[in-house]
Structure 1
Amino acid sequence: MKSDLDELIAELEFEKQLIQKSIDDCVKDEDYLNAHHNYQARNKLNRELETLYKLRDPLYFEKEHILRILDMYKYSSLRMGRFDDRFLSENRQKSIRDEEEKLNRLNQQKYTYYDGQEIDNALFDLYKGKLAGFKLYINQQENIYFEFSLNNHQNLLISIDASVEAQQYMAAKSPLLFFKTKGFKINEVNNKLNYLYDKPFKDATTIKELLAQIIFKLYNASIQAPFIELIYPDHLNSIG
């Protein structure tokens, strides 16, 4: 059974095929203005698809890069044909084998995208004011979690412990540097890494993509039936 994410990707891929057909028809009819508009629509759709593919598989771009290199090598071999130099041909074949091995190693890394609604529901409740915040645990036993809250401007703030003790559970050699490349900034006062999401909140896709990349890269894990601790506002905690 396909997940919601798979269904959405399939729908957008079908829409992309229709747009491509429109582009081809416009070019055939020399209707270049509409071809240009359709081309822009296809580019926008491609960006949306890339986001979804990366959400489903954090290694998506790395795999695509290798596939492009392999296509380049194979196209070069076909183009050279019988004029291909033996030394260059052998080197090219070695390069192809090396890239294929890289791709195989990436494909062997197990990653499962969790397409549940727990994170979505918690985020929507946070923005609606039903929650004061929530914690998404990566490792309950070691008390490692992302903490979500809204700042005074109602922008989403995601925090995680940046202490030396917390870093020992991270798989990356330079975890703080990796966090910084993702937009996190360190707060020296409370020793936490903070990420500010100050865009209009429509759905949890972007946030879940960010979390999936970090959890996969730094903890060699994936979001599997996450444990979430909900933090209610004081006035709700006092009820009942």
Structure 2
Amino acid sequence: MRRKLNQLIVHYEAERRLLNEQLNECVEEFDHGMAHRFSKGLFLVNMQLQTLYNLRDHRHDEKVAALRHIESLEKFSQQERAGHRGGYYAAWIADERKKLAEWEAQVRLPRPQTTAVAEALHKLLHGRITGFTLTLSRAMGLYLTFRLARRTLIITLPEVRRHREHYHLPKKRRRVLQRLGFRRYDQGDKLISFRPLATDADIGPAMSMLSYMAFELFYFREFDQESYLSYFEFNAE
């Protein structure tokens, strides 16, 4: 998975370099129409790269912000050095660098091979729970319910009308959900997907679909610190 992620990043970085070159050529030639098109393409590629980098390292955005902050502080430090305030900025820069080093150390720690959602699907498959709820955003009231019936995983996204009214589920997103296998029920107020879940091998495809929803359909930063799982687990006897 990580190898594929790195390959995608390499591909989009090459695409970004090419778009930048083409954009600069158009600007030099005063071709504003094509420059605008390349600018839009560059924006989309940058968004995709941001998502990919955050998939690889969930602190990517924070690290980029910290590095930019350090660069700004270093410039101020050089300007203020003559005014005997260099020590103030040096301490600030040291704190930022220490924070970056701590984040880098966290990235190198071994990561679990399963996610909470995959573990919940495993428990559902083996009868340890009867179902669970994945809340994507508490603020938006956006959640999915999961239950198993005759080796079929039933994923429900309820309250579609409310989400439409609050622009959480515009037509474009609903169409993507339908392409992912969701169908309209309860007079359009529910979107339900039926997926096979008979063995552990079926968990992977379900996780791929959920990952697409989180990272492509929705911008996953919308759910930062907002998502959680809830279920009741039977006590082993």
- Aligned partners of 2:117, 2:51: CA distance in 1, in Å? 24
Q: Which residue of 2 aligns with 1:182?
A: 180
1:214-229 to structure 2, matched below 5 A, reads 214-222=213-221, 226-229=227-230
Give the gaps of 5 or more residues in structure 1: 1-7, 11-48, 75-86
Task: Indicate if the aligned counterparts of 2:160 and 2:169 stay in contact, CA closer than 8 A.
Answer: no
AA matched with 1:156 = L
Structure 2 length-normalised TM: 0.53
The answer to whether the aligner puts 1:166 opposite 2:163 as a matched pair is yes
The answer to whether the aligner puts 1:202 opposite 2:185 as a matched pair is no
Offset at 1:121? 1.2
AA matched with 2:127 = G
Choose between structure 1 and 2 for higher RCO, CA contacts under 8 A separated by at least 6 residues.
Answer: 1
- Aligned partners of 1:132, 1:228: CA distance in 2, in Å? 14
Aligned-residue Cα RMSD (Å) equals 4.4
Offset at 1:195? 0.9
Task: Indicate if the aligned counterparts of 1:170 and 1:218 stay in contact, CA closer than 8 A.
Answer: no
Offset at 1:229? 0.8
Q: Which residue of 2 aligns with 1:9?
A: 2
Offset at 1:96? 5.9
Task: Indicate if the aligned counterparts of 1:134 and 1:228 stay in contact, CA closer than 8 A.
Answer: yes
1:193 alignment partner, SS class = strand
Q: Which residue of 2 aligns with 1:124?
A: 122
- Aligned partners of 2:172, 2:146: CA distance in 1, in Å? 24
**2:144 pairs with one of 142, 146, 150:** 146
1:178 alignment partner, SS class = helix
**2:45 pairs with one of 76, 82, 103:** 103
- Aligned partners of 2:17, 2:50: CA distance in 1, in Å? 18
- Aligned partners of 2:40, 2:220: CA distance in 1, in Å? 26
Offset at 1:161? 1.1
Offset at 1:144? 2.2
Offset at 1:127? 0.3
- Aligned partners of 1:101, 1:146: CA distance in 2, in Å? 31
- Aligned partners of 2:41, 2:123: CA distance in 1, in Å? 45
Give the gaps of 5 or more residues in structure 2: 59-111
Change in Cα spacing, 1:158 to 1:101, as seen in structure 2 (3 Å) is closer
- Aligned partners of 2:172, 2:44: CA distance in 1, in Å? 22
Offset at 1:206? 2.7
Structure 1 length-normalised TM: 0.52
1:183 alignment partner, SS class = coil
AA matched with 1:104 = N
Deviations 1:126-160 (A, max 9, x none): 00001000000012244321101112x21111111
Provide the aligned length of Structure 1 versus Structure 2: 170
- Aligned partners of 2:200, 2:188: CA distance in 1, in Å? 27
Q: Which residue of 2 aligns with 1:155?
A: 152
**Percent identity between the two aligned chains:** 16
- Aligned partners of 2:169, 2:216: CA distance in 1, in Å? 7
Q: Which residue of 1 aligns with 2:88?
A: none
Bigger mean CA deviation after superposition, 210-219 or 155-164: 210-219
Offset at 1:68? 6.2
